Amino acid sequence: MPKGILVKILTRNRNKFEEAKLVLNEYGIDAIQVPVQVCEIQSENLFEIAIFRLKCALKHIPPPIATEDSGLFIDALNGFPGPFSSYVFKTIGCDGVLRLMQGMVNRDAHFESVVAFADRDLKVHLFHGVVNGVISEIARGSYGFGFDPIFCPKEKPQLTFAEMTREEKNKISHRSRAFRKLAEFLSASET
């Protein structure tokens, strides 16, 4: 296990940070939260958003640093809310999305996460995580954040993400999958 690696994670979302840190810790990697706002590009491509934000951050914060961007993509809504999930959550919330899904037979959806990481040499590395599932009929659970109460992952279709502890969610979530790839990359780089 690599010793003494410390990754700065650029996010103002404490929940996101805690999920990411928990994964990195499994690999003996430490993380600190850098809760600053940097510019974000308006794009429908999570990779583009993550890279742009990372490059903005690097103007102010020395590497190694990681940013993460994620979204909930609902098939029947043409991918909505996608990269704009956090704005959509803040405005219409889980209730709004459930209203849009009322009577929809196809409830397939996936969460996607892109971690952009800049190493000490300012080289950018990208890590992608996906979890497939369905939109529940009603919001359930109190763990997690964002659209967690209305998403049931394929691996545990009877539960929403918000009915799982952080540890349970981290076994299968899009975010944990992307950060696990980062952790494996860092572990391999340091050996």
Q: One of 30, 69, 75, 108 is an active-site residue; which one?
A: 69
Q: How far is the CB of 44 from a second copy (least distance, A)?
A: 7
Q: What six digits make up the tokens of 73?
A: 């993509």
Residue for token digits 């690097």?
Answer: 58
> 78: alpha, beta or left, given left = phi > 0 and alpha = psi -120 to 50?
left
Residue with tokens 């939260």: 33
DSSP designation for 61: S
User: Binding to a second copy (CB under 8 A): which residues in 123-162?
Assistant: none
| Residue given tokens 């914060």 in the structure block | 61
CB-wise, 45 or 132, nearer to a second copy?
A: 45
Q: Closest CB to a second copy among 113 and 170?
A: 113
Quick one: 1 or 138, whose CB is closer to a second copy?
138
Q: At what angle are helices 174-190 and 14-26 packed, to 10 degrees?
A: 40
Judged by CB under 8 A, does residue 39 bind a second copy? Answer: yes
- Interface segment toward a second copy; rule CB under 8 A; list 41-49, 137-145, 152-160, 165-173: 41-49
Least distance to a second copy, CB of residue 78, Å: 4
Closest CA to 19 of 37, 5, 33: 33
List the x/- string, 62-101, binding to a second copy by CB under 8 A: ---------------xxxxxxxx--xx-xxx---x--xx-
Residues catalogued as catalytic: 69
